C-alpha cells in the first residue's frame, strides 16, 4: 500500500491542493490512459500510462499524463 505524500507540480514546485477538499496529502498509483479508438484499431501499445493522485479523505482522483510532479514525505515537508 502506498503512503500519503505531499505533492509539488511543475518547475516552480507549486504545492498541490485537492480541488474538492483543499487538503495536501495524496496516495499515488499508476494508471493506464487507454483510448477506445486505439483499442478498436488494435494498437493498444500506443496507449500510455499516467499517475493518479488520490486524496485520502474525499477520494477525489487527480490524473496526470506525465511526471511533472514530485512526491514528498509529509514528515519532512516541502522542499525549501
Structural domain harbouring 37: 5-72
Cell numbers found for residue 16: 498541490
State the pLDDT at residue 72.
92
pLDDT bin (cut points 50, 70, 90) of residue 79 is confident
Work out the average pLDDT over 57-77: 89
Instruction: Compute how many other C-beta atoms are within 10 angstroms of the C-beta atom of residue 78.
Output: 14
pLDDT digits (tens, 9 = 90+) for 11-59: 899 999 999 999 999 999 988 776 666 555 665 555 577 899 999 889 9
Look at residue 15 and tell me if it is in a domain: yes
State the pLDDT at residue 26.
95
Look at residue 44 and tell me if it is in a domain: yes
Helix boundaries (H) for the chain: 36-40
Instruction: Compute how many other C-beta atoms are within 10 angstroms of the C-beta atom of residue 76.
Output: 8
Number of structural domains (the chain) is 1
Amino acid at each position: 500500500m502506498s503512503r500519503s505524500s505531499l505533492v509539488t507540480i511543475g518547475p516552480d514546485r507549486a504545492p498541490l491542493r485537492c480541488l474538492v477538499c483543499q487538503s495536501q496529502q495524496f496516495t499515488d498509483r499508476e494508471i493506464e490512459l487507454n483510448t477506445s479508438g486505439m483499442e478498436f484499431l488494435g494498437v493498444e501499445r500506443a496507449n500510455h500510462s499516467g499517475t493518479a493522485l488520490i486524496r485520502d479523505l474525499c477520494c477525489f482522483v487527480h490524473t496526470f499524463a506525465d511526471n511533472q510532479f514530485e512526491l514528498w514525505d509529509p514528515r519532512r515537508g516541502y522542499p525549501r
